Structure 1
Amino acid sequence: MKLRTLTLTAALSVFAFSQVANATNVTGAGASFPQPIYVQWAMNYKSETGNQVNYQSIGSSGGVKQIISRTVDFGASDSPMKEELKKNELIQFPTVIGGVVPVVNIEGIEPGQLKLTGELLSDIYLGNITKWNDEKIKAINPDLNLPDGRITTVFRADGSGTSFIFTHYLSQVSRDWKEKVGAANTVKWPTSASGAAGKGNEGVSIYVGRVKNSIGYVEYAYAKQNKMSYVQLKNAAGNFVLPSQKSFAAAANVDWRKTKGFSLVLTNQSDAEAWPLAAATFILIPKEVSDKQRGETVLNFFDWAYRKGDEQAQKLDYVPLPENVKELVREEWKNINLK
């Protein structure tokens, strides 16, 4: 068959025919951050089109490795790629905005009651603060009965975009963290000897739920679904804010056209209402797709999600992309060669 590049308009017209003619199964893998919404979208998409999208929550690093090796149809990552996009002949685009939230298991502490700053988070994960009734924590939480209990830090065991977001933020607010640990999908945790490592957002949620006086970090949907006690955080404007769609959207009020490959990190934004740990999550697909029908199905799925998935995203506490950003993504899709 002669190779040809489909424009987006032509591709979408073929998608409509493909849905009627026969169902196609495609596979994606990667970040656990967006797993709740990808699973929900996939269920509704299959019901409407007959095409099945299987998504494996294996962590951002795993998703990147699998799409580079072309063992999946699309990869998913919360840490945006930059120079690596060209090297690995990939296209990257965002799907939704969400937030990473610190969660705690402290007796008597309800969701949103405990206040923390980025500096305090850094000191806890560096091992400089080891008890909840430390004077620095009590100073901004004078009305809370904080226990004389040793803090157990919980972190990701796998290569994780959620960890990248968390450590990138800590590097922004703490020189010690930046110099001693840094920001990456996988880091050497200073409290690893006394802490606990969980696989995926799911694993961290389970550990924090079981271990008294623990603290971890998960995507907001996991915190809500598991009724976990998330914290207030002091943002770059000096305000204590709660995680919410409103505070995530405030952090995402940026110009996506200024970056190549949509490579934006949304942590520590200056807006007065911004959640400090806001983040976009990204999809990676090859520029050259060898199986035309599978490639069409992947693009059709995300186009369908952009057109019909916003309400589902909001119900799971994600923020849909603005329409102008969706159009920028659709323009980017025109660079994909469907053979």
Structure 2
Amino acid sequence: MSGLKGWKLVCAGLALSSLLLAGCATVDEASPQQGGGSGGGSQGAAQRINGAGASFPAPFYSAVFQRFAQEEGIEVNYQSIGSSGGREQFIQKTVAFGASDEPMSEEEMREAGGNPLHIATVGGAVVPVYNIEGVDSGLNFTGRVLADIYLGNITRWNDPAIAELNPGVELPDAKIAVVHRSDGSGTTNIWTSYLAAVSPEWKSGPGAGGEIKWPTGIGGDGNEGVAGLVKQTPNSIGYVGLEYAVQNELAYGDVGEEGAFVRPSVESARAAIAAAGDEIPEDLRFTISSANPQGEGVYPITGLTWILVRQQMDDPAQCRAVAQAAWYLTHEGQSLAPDLNYVPLPENIVSRDEELIRSMEAGGEKCYAG
């Protein structure tokens, strides 16, 4: 994960359980940037901006914003606090942009004002991770089995429903320790949207969303918190972004229907985004996993993540900096995605992002000059 080297130069508020040293200095969001820069023109842009939200894309944002600061001279202080917190801070205008893996609701859009836009930045897989002594990566799960585990219907690892999917694997007669998010989470939205799509009992019970009433289990804060709990809890299962499973060396399972299990990867998540392409609306507010995309090599528990910006902003300098950061994320930054276990955006989504970024205005002027 070489793209994470030096990430503390950008912001120590980005949290990975194995890397984090927390704390970011307060910055002046509207300090004017002196000098030029390539791309959208950093001249006249704020020198520093604050953002907060989703932990799912935090490793990607860390790497991209570090390079963005080096190349464009604009520092981005990003706090990995979860999607719900990111939407709330965006609504309260305590950050220049929010970040979420769960689309804003209509009510949140109204509360935020300024015609909020969802700029898709990257895609990725959410994977079932587990910690079972003697069982390596590669367990098979169907969506209904995962739902039944999280509903509390399946409580032991050697339950016939799991054993039948994994012939030849010695599963222990041990109670399953279920781990979920304790905070409002876009990763949870991707996970529960899939469970609701494949399990009628889940759909009519806990349902889909970033904040639900969990039937069972213990909670961890952020992807990093869930990864840490699974790593330290014997016989546990949880869900995190693929990048967190890899970074924390956690075993993770394949998902699908019996006889057609798909390994989570950049390629299989990319295939899921492509499979759901016709269902993605113009405003990009769509949870891929809710469609349960199918096909050969398609990993269904996949989602997009967004930064949240206002089409109409008050501060021209801040608007220029946000627009330029958004452009960099969706263009130059995409080259960093695969090595960090994220999916680069397909061309049709990048094209829509470009239209949205170019629509941003402040003081009657366009914010992106490219």
Q: TM-score scaled by structure 1?
A: 0.90
> In structure 1, which of residues 122, 139, 143 is the aligned counterpart of residue 164 of structure 2?
139
Gaps of 5+ in 2: 1-36, 364-370
Aligned-partner residue type, residue 73 of structure 2: G
Structure 1 residues 141 and 83: alpha-carbon distance in aligned structure 2, compared to 1, 3 A threshold: same
Conserved 8 A contact 1:23-1:50: no
Aligned-partner residue type, residue 118 of structure 1: G
SS of equivalent to 2:179: strand
Task: Answer yes or no: is 1:226 the counterpart of 2:252.
Answer: no
Structure 1 residues 271 and 81: alpha-carbon distance in aligned structure 2, compared to 1, 3 A threshold: farther
Q: How far did 1:93 drift?
A: 1.8
Aligned-partner residue type, residue 172 of structure 1: A
Aligned-partner residue type, residue 318 of structure 2: R
SS of equivalent to 2:123: strand
Deviates more, 1:77-86 or 1:115-124: 77-86
Q: How far did 1:82 drift?
A: 5.2
> In structure 2, which of residues 255, 267, 287 is the aligned counterpart of residue 246 of structure 1?
267
> In structure 2, which of residues 299, 314, 320 is the aligned counterpart of residue 290 of structure 1?
314
Structure 1 residues 188 and 90: alpha-carbon distance in aligned structure 2, compared to 1, 3 A threshold: same
Q: How far did 1:16 drift?
A: 2.0
Conserved 8 A contact 2:65-2:75: yes
Structure 1 residues 13 and 337: alpha-carbon distance in aligned structure 2, compared to 1, 3 A threshold: farther
Figure out how many residues of one structure are paired with residues of the other and give that number.
Answer: 321
Distance in 1 (CA, whole Å) between partners of 2:39 and 2:245 is 40
Q: How far did 1:50 drift?
A: 1.7
Structure 1 residues 239 and 291: alpha-carbon distance in aligned structure 2, compared to 1, 3 A threshold: same
Distance in 1 (CA, whole Å) between partners of 2:348 and 2:331 is 13
- Deviations, residues 172-211 of structure 1 (Å, cap 9, x unaligned): 11111111111111111111xxx22100000000000000
Which residue of structure 1 aligns with residue 357 of structure 2?
A: 333
Distance in 2 (CA, whole Å) between partners of 1:310 and 1:190 is 38
Q: How far did 1:334 drift?
A: 3.0
Structure 1 residues 216 and 147: alpha-carbon distance in aligned structure 2, compared to 1, 3 A threshold: same
Task: Answer yes or no: is 1:91 the counterpart of 2:117.
Answer: yes
Which residue of structure 2 aligns with residue 7 of structure 1?
A: none
Q: Would you tell me which structure has more helix in proportion to its own residues? A: 1
Task: Answer yes or no: is 1:213 the counterpart of 2:239.
Answer: no
- Deviations, residues 286-320 of structure 1 (Å, cap 9, x unaligned): 12211111111111112122332222111101111
Q: TM-score scaled by structure 2?
A: 0.83
Q: How far did 1:330 drift?
A: 1.0
Deviates more, 1:212-221 or 1:50-59: 50-59
Q: How far did 1:15 drift?
A: 4.3
Amino-acid identity (%): 42
> In structure 2, which of residues 207, 221, 224 is the aligned counterpart of residue 202 of structure 1?
224
Task: Answer yes or no: is 1:183 the counterpart of 2:208.
Answer: yes
> In structure 1, which of residues 139, 164, 173 is the aligned counterpart of residue 198 of structure 2?
173
Which residue of structure 2 aligns with residue 60 of structure 1?
A: 83
Distance in 2 (CA, whole Å) between partners of 1:166 and 1:280 is 12
> In structure 1, which of residues 18, 28, 34 is the aligned counterpart of residue 57 of structure 2?
34
> In structure 2, which of residues 35, 57, 67 is the aligned counterpart of residue 44 of structure 1?
67
Aligned-partner residue type, residue 154 of structure 2: I
Which residue of structure 1 aligns with residue 5 of structure 2?
A: none
Conserved 8 A contact 1:31-1:57: yes
Distance in 2 (CA, whole Å) between partners of 1:285 and 1:127 is 39
- Deviations, residues 28-66 of structure 1 (Å, cap 9, x unaligned): 111100000001111111111221011111111111111
Greater RCO (CA < 8 Å, at least 6 residues apart): 1
Q: How far did 1:70 drift?
A: 1.0
- Cα RMSD (Å) of the superposition? 2.0
Conserved 8 A contact 2:226-2:240: yes
Aligned-partner residue type, residue 139 of structure 1: E
